[in-house]
Amino acid sequence: MDKQNNQQKSINSEGWEGLTDLEVENKPPEPTELDKCFFRTFQTEDGQKILHYLRACTIDQPSWTPGADASHGYLREGQNSITREIINRIRRCSNG
C-alpha cells in the first residue's frame, strides 16, 4: 500500500485532499454565561426598547458621509460594533 494512503488526512495535507475529505461540523458556538446575561437583559420590555434605540442610533445610521472627516467614520464603526456585539450575543442564545 502507498504510505500516503495510510496517513490521516487533515487540512494541513498537501493538495486538495485535506480540504475535500475533511468533515466540517457547522454547529454554532455554545452560548457563554455572558451571552445568557445579555439575552436575559434584552428580553425584557425595557431591554427591547434600549436595543431598538441603540440600533436606531448606530447600525441604522450612516457611518460616514461625504465631506466628513474620516475619523468620524472610525468612531461610528466602533459604536456600531458594540451594538452588533450585543445582537450577536443575544442571537447565540436564541438559536441554542
* pLDDT more than 90, % of the chain: 66
CB atoms within 10 A of CB 6: 7
31-67 pLDDT, tens digit per residue, is 999 999 999 999 999 999 999 999 999 999 999 999 9
pTM tops 0.75: no
On average, the pLDDT of the chain sits at 85
Phi, psi of 88 (to 5 degrees): -65, -40
Pick from 1-5, 13-17, 86-90 the range whose average pLDDT is largest: 86-90
Whole-angstrom distance, CA of residue 2 vs CA of residue 32:
45
